[in-house]
Amino acid sequence: MKPSGIGGQALIEGIMMRHGDKYSCAVRKPDREIEVKVEQCRSVVPFPAIRKIPLVRGVVSFIDSMVIGLSTLMYSASFFEEEEEDEKEKEKLAGMTEDERKKKIQRDEKIDNMIMYAVFFIAMAAAVVLFMLLPYYLRELLGKVIKPQWAQALFEAFTRVGIFLIYLILVSKMKDIQRTFMYHGAEHKCINCLEHGMDLNVENVMKSSRFHKRCGTSFLVFVVIISAVLLMFIKTDSGVLRVVYRLVLIPVIAGISFEILQWAGRSDGALVNLLSKPGLAMQRLTTREPDESMAEVAIAAVEAVFDWKTYLKENFGRESE
């Protein structure tokens, strides 16, 4: 396997693929045509030197991925608005001057950006409460019954893992999410197809694996496991400090998880494969086998930002068929 450097995300009836300083969105529209858009990646940190610092680059990359992910998710959702709303919008625009139309479009874009960032911060706050603070407060309740610190720490660690598992299981049962998970599977299959030296076509994509070591699910698994381990070593009598330490360690945990994920994506040794097993196991919940139409969307997304024929020639010494 040869790492390609491609990363992606499932969208609503579509897929985002990112490579280098560009990312693409390919969406299967209601009329069954595939719409593809390519954009430049813009980091929240405009200083390249900072984005290369170990651990720090993991935090920056995570935030960038969240912002791009929400933006592309909103873009894909825009194709599936109610037709009645579309007609009303056309009627409004028809009665406006050219300047009024431009101002309205700019205003709508600002509102969309405000909504995107609001959702981002709400999601981050919810994740902190659910996966970092809730296990801690449950531990505090247990502390009234069980006194040994090591037992309390172990309980908090298992609680954090348990909450994560329950969350994934519940989400995977949602009917609409299952279709998104099929696109997630198509994204992985497409990347695996290339990284195993096969031509990028529907047949090869469909027979490739839907599991990949460099997946966001694996990143979250590393976050949960590393946080469980690190927080077991925090010992202080101050309840306020225990909460502060958990919040301060979030960027550290994200940075370490990113470095491990990148290492796993570049390597194929016994230790790497062992460390990757929990994440790959969780992908059984977050991916589904796609159909051929979804594979076509994944291929369109890759081809928009990645020269896969040159990649095959340089890494596998073969011309595409």
Domains of the chain: which residue ranges? 7-316
pLDDT band at 320, cuts 50/70/90? Answer: low
**The predicted structure's pLDDT at residue 291:** 95
Q: Give the pTM.
A: 0.83
CA 283 from chain center: how many Å?
12
In tens, the pLDDT along 2-36 reads 888 899 999 999 999 999 889 999 999 988 999 99
Amino acid letter, 217: T
**The predicted structure's pLDDT at residue 83:** 44
Share of the chain above pLDDT 70, in %: 88
**The predicted structure's pLDDT at residue 308:** 94
In tens, the pLDDT along 103-153 reads 766 776 676 667 666 766 777 777 777 778 888 888 888 877 877 877 888
**The predicted structure's pLDDT at residue 206:** 97
**The predicted structure's pLDDT at residue 112:** 65
**The predicted structure's pLDDT at residue 158:** 85
Mean pLDDT of the region 315-321: 77
Mean pLDDT of the region 59-78: 88
pLDDT band at 313, cuts 50/70/90? Answer: very high
DSSP states of 21-78 = TEEEEEEE-TTSPEEEEEEE---SS--TTGGGSTTHHHHHHHHHHHHHHHHHHHHHHG
Highest mean pLDDT, choosing among 35-49, 142-156, 279-293: 279-293
Asked whether the predicted pLDDT for residue 93 surpasses 90, the reply is no
Mean pLDDT of the region 149-168: 84
Asked whether the predicted pLDDT for residue 101 surpasses 70, the reply is no
Q: Closest by alpha carbon to 265, among 208, 175, 191?
A: 191
In 85-104, which positions are buried (b, 16+ CB within 10 angstroms) versus exposed (e)? Answer: eeeeeeeeeeeeeeeeeeee
**The predicted structure's pLDDT at residue 95:** 62
Share the mean pLDDT of the chain: 85
In tens, the pLDDT along 212-266 reads 988 988 988 898 888 888 887 877 778 788 888 888 888 898 899 988 888 887 8
